[in-house]
Structure 1
Amino acid sequence: MKRKAIKNLVQKYLTYEYHKSLNNSAIETLKSIESIKGKTDARFIKLSNEYAGDILGWRGYAPWLYVYSAIAGSFKEGWIPDNYYGKIVVPALKGQYGKIGDLKSLTNKLFNENIFPDLLYYTNGLFFTTDYCAFPPEKIKEYVFRDSNKVVFKKDNSGRGFGISIFDESNFDVNKIKTLGDGVIQEYIKQHAFFKAFMPNSVATIRITTAIDDYGSCTARACFLRLGRSKDTHINSESRILIPVNLETGALHDQGFMPNWNLTDRHPDTGTLFAKKQIPNFAKCISTAVALHKSMPLARCIGWDMIVDENDDVKIMEWNGNHNGIKFSEATQGPCFSDLGWENLWRTSK
Structure 2
Amino acid sequence: MKNLNKEVDVFNIINKSRVTYFYNEFIIKMFRDKERKPLLQQIKELYLLARAIKYWPHNYFKYDGYKKNKSLDEVKLYSTGLLFGDFRQKCLNDSRYAVFADDKFLFHKLMSDSNIPTAKLINVISHNIYTNESTGLNGISAEAILDSITVNAIVIKPVIDSSQGVGVNVINVNVDAVKKFEISGVSYTSAELLNKIFAESPCGYLIEEKIQQHSFNQHLYPESVNTIRVDSLLSKTSEVIINSAYLRIGRNGRKVDNWSGKAGGIGVNVNIQTGALSSQGIDYCKNLYSEHPDSGVSFSGLEVPYWDEIINIVKEAALQLPNLKSLGWDIALTENGPLILEVNADYDILAQQTCTQAFGKNNLFYSELIGYSENTEYFKHYAINHQRL
Superposed pair shares fold, TM > 0.5? yes
Q: In the TM superposition, what whole-angstrom CA distance separates every residue of 1:38-71 from its partner, at most 9, and x where no partner exists?
A: 45435576445424422x3x35x45414422448
Residue from 345, 348, 373 that aligns with 1:325? 348
Decide which of 311, 334, 345 is 2:358's aligned counterpart. 334
Distance of 1:150 and 1:214 partners within structure 2: 42
Matching residue of 1:285: 310
> In structure 2, how many angstroms separate the alpha carbons of the residues matched to 1:120 and 1:53?
51
The aligned residue for residue 173 of structure 1 is 190
The residue aligned with 1:139 is: 144
1:114 Cα deviation after fit: 5.6
Residue 105 (structure 2) pairs with residue 105 (structure 1): yes
- Mark the CA change 1:194 to 1:34 in structure 2 (over 3 Å): closer, same or farther: farther
Give unmatched runs, 5+ long, in structure 1: 1-13
Counterpart position of 2:237: 215
Q: What TM-score does the superposition give when structure 2 sets the normalisation length?
A: 0.73
Aligned length: 326
List aligned pairs for 1:8-27, cutoff 5 A.
none
1:64 maps to 2:66: no
Determine the C-alpha separation between the residues in 2 that align with 1:304 and 1:263.
24
What is the one-letter code of the residue matched to 2:154? V
1:35 & 1:202 partners in 2: Cα distance?
A: 36
1:1-44 per-position Cα deviation (integer Å, ceiling 9, x unaligned): xxxxxxxxxxxxx9xx9999999867755447647754543557
Equivalent-residue separation in structure 2 for 1:114 and 1:149 (angstroms)? 24
| Rg comparison, structure with higher value | 2
Structural mapping, 1:239-254, within 5 Å: 239-254=264-279
Instruction: Output the TM-score relative to the length of structure 1.
Output: 0.80
**Structure 1 vs Structure 2 CA RMSD:** 3.4
Identify the structure with bigger relative contact order (alpha carbons < 8 Å, sequence gap 6+): 1
Q: CA shift at 1:197, angstroms?
A: 1.2
Q: Which runs of 4+ in 1 moved over 6 A?
A: 17-27
Correspondence 1:1-350 to 2 at 5 A: 29-31=25-27, 34=30, 38-41=34-37, 46-47=44-45, 49-54=47-52, 56=53, 58-59=54-55, 61=56, 63-70=58-65, 73-75=70-72, 76=74, 77-96=76-95, 97-112=97-112, 113=115, 115-117=117-119, 118-123=121-126, 125=128, 127-128=135-136, 133-143=138-148, 145-146=149-150, 148-155=151-158, 156-169=160-173, 170-171=180-181, 173=190, 175-176=194-195, 177-179=197-199, 180=201, 181-236=203-258, 237=260, 238-309=263-334, 311-321=335-345, 323-331=346-354, 332-335=356-359, 336=362, 337-339=365-367, 340-341=369-370, 345-347=376-378
Q: Could you tell me how far apart the structure 2 residues matched to 1:37 and 1:290 are? A: 42
Q: Which runs of 5+ in 2 are unaligned?
A: 1-10, 129-133, 174-179, 182-188, 381-389
Q: Give distance in 1, aligned partners of 2:302 and 2:266.
A: 16
**In structure 1, what residue type is equivalent to 2:351?**
F
In the alignment, is the contact (CA less than 8 A) between 1:120 and 1:128 conserved in 2? yes
